[in-house]
Amino acid sequence: MKSAAEVVIIGGGVVGLSIAYHLAERGVTDIVVLEKEDMVGTGSTGRCAGGFRHQFSTEVNIRLSLLSVSKLERFPEELEQPIDFHQDGYLFLLQRPDEVESFRQNVQLQQRLGVPVELVKPEEVERVLPNTELALDDVLAATYCAKDGVSDPAGVTEGYRRSALRLGAAIATSQEVTGIQVEGGRVVGVQTRTDRISTSTVVNAAGPHARVVGKMAGIDVPVVPLRRFIWTTKPFPKAPGRWTLVVDFSTGFYFHRESGGVLFGMGNKEEAPTFDLSVDWEFFDRVMEVAIHRFPPIADAAIKNAWAGSYETSPDAHPILGRVPGIQGFVLANGFSGHGFQHAPAVGQLIAEEIIDGRAHTLDISALSIQRFAGGVTEVEINVV
């Protein structure tokens, strides 16, 4: 463990490692990434579904996706790390007139920003998702974007880890942070259970634990952990041939192809914030009702695996990025609300710019500052999956 570093990043998930890589790629290599688990990428990153999409309802989230997906498309060449990457689209299924109208407005915004998205009639779904037996009798419309898809959280995380190390960054696992020292309105150090590191810049990339880390510096980061369940099935004859991620918007149920079967999940909107990551098998029965209704062939599939992950959720489902007013050297990369993996490539670049150049300039992130919550009204992202 180094006793001093120019930058300390708290959190060794895909967001923290992307920031480390982008800093090191810009020449800031005196970095320590602190991860409390014994391996990086085993928290929320290792438990996510791996989807990425441009179909958001706010301009800033769409622009984050445009930047991130372009970087994922070039990832194997730029980082010399192969990844699974399937651009087979996201298909949102809409059941209510208000959903259709809301998504119609979203499509207009997305198309204005250059996203190749389309509003699809139920009878046209077979064109964008062939050979998949969906029940569409109660669906009024759908939206589809062929540039959306599913990628590889483990591969992307490993690419950032290897490249950050190659460029000179240090990564310390089994190092839980217990304190952040602030003197005279500026960060001066980080304390773990075993060591102290002097530093002038700390990045909070602690995922669902962002609020805990923020309090160490005297800041309330408004992020809560919401448990999300994922199940995978064994291969079955009528599993989708494409990796299209299908979302039943009203219920939040989603699924995509995975190893000859499917990966599926659904959020429990009634559950309170929790750090508990056990699987609720009573809730599974409710999920299967929706799953069989929407995708009948899943009734014949056997469950292969199940786990729970955590969404680090902000009040408006937008990330909280950038410097904290009043504490020099304390930088936030939190609150991704289920979009952390897919936005990590962009966020790494933007936070590196914030630290090195004084502000992010590839994309203006001022609207994502923690200051926005002081006014009490923010633009809410509606497409939370």
pLDDT, tens only, 204-215: 999 999 999 999
Rounded mean pLDDT, 12-40: 97
Same domain, 132 and 192: no
Mean pLDDT of 104-114: 97
Q: Which residues pair with 141 in a beta bridge?
A: 94
pLDDT at position 377:
61
- Within-domain flag for 385: no
Over residues 241-250, mean pLDDT: 96
Residues 335 and 207 occupy one common structural domain: yes
pLDDT confidence of 258, banded at 50, 70, 90? very high
Final residue before a domain boundary, out of 313, 333, 351: 313
| Structure-block tokens of residue 285 | 């029965």
Residue 339 predicted with pLDDT over 60: yes
**Core vs surface per residue 106-128: b (16+ CB within 10 A) or e:** bbeebeeeebebebbebeebeeb
**How much of the chain, in percent, has pLDDT values that exceed 90?**
94
Would 184 be classed as within a structural domain? Answer: yes
Domain presence at residue 340:
yes
Rounded average pLDDT over 111-116: 98
Q: Is the pLDDT of residue 172 over 60?
A: yes
Give tens-digit pLDDT for 6-25: 999 999 999 999 999 999 99
Residue 80 lies in a domain: no
User: Do 233 and 356 fall within a single domain?
Assistant: no
**62 within some domain:** no
Question: At residue 205, what is the residue type?
Answer: A
Q: Do 186 and 306 have their domain in common?
A: no
Domain hosting 301: range is 90-146+225-313
Give me the helix-helix angle, 97-112 and 59-73, nearest 10°.
60
252 occurs within a structural domain: yes
Residue 69 domain flag: no
Is pLDDT above 90 for 382?
Answer: no
333 Rama class: left (phi>0) / alpha (psi -120 to 50) / beta: beta
Question: What is the per-residue pLDDT for 385?
Answer: 59
Mean pLDDT for 165-178 is 97
Residues 165, 295 within the same domain: no
Q: Which residue, of 313, 345, 366, is where some domain finishes?
A: 313
CATH number of the domain that residue 287 is part of: 3.30.9.10
Establish if 196 belongs to a structural domain: yes
255-268 average pLDDT score: 94
Do 165 and 205 have their domain in common?
yes
Decide if 129 contacts 143 (C-beta within 8 A): no
Instruction: Tell me the CATH number at 11.
Output: 3.50.50.60
Q: Flag whether pLDDT at 29 surpasses 60.
A: yes
Q: Decide if pLDDT at 378 tops 80.
A: no
Which of 286, 313, 340 delimits the end of a domain?
A: 313
Q: How far is CA 159 from CA 43, 76, 81, 153, 174, in A?
A: 17, 8, 5, 10, 21
For residue 113, the SS3 value is coil
The whole-angstrom separation of Cα 351 and Cα 22 is 8
CA–CA gap between residue 108 and residue 104 (Å, rounded): 6
216 pLDDT higher than 60: yes
CA distances from 1 to 14, 33, 48, 259, 331 (A): 21, 10, 30, 40, 22
Q: What is the mean pLDDT of residues 282-311?
A: 96
Q: How many separate domains does the chain show?
A: 2
Same-domain check for residues 138 and 283: yes
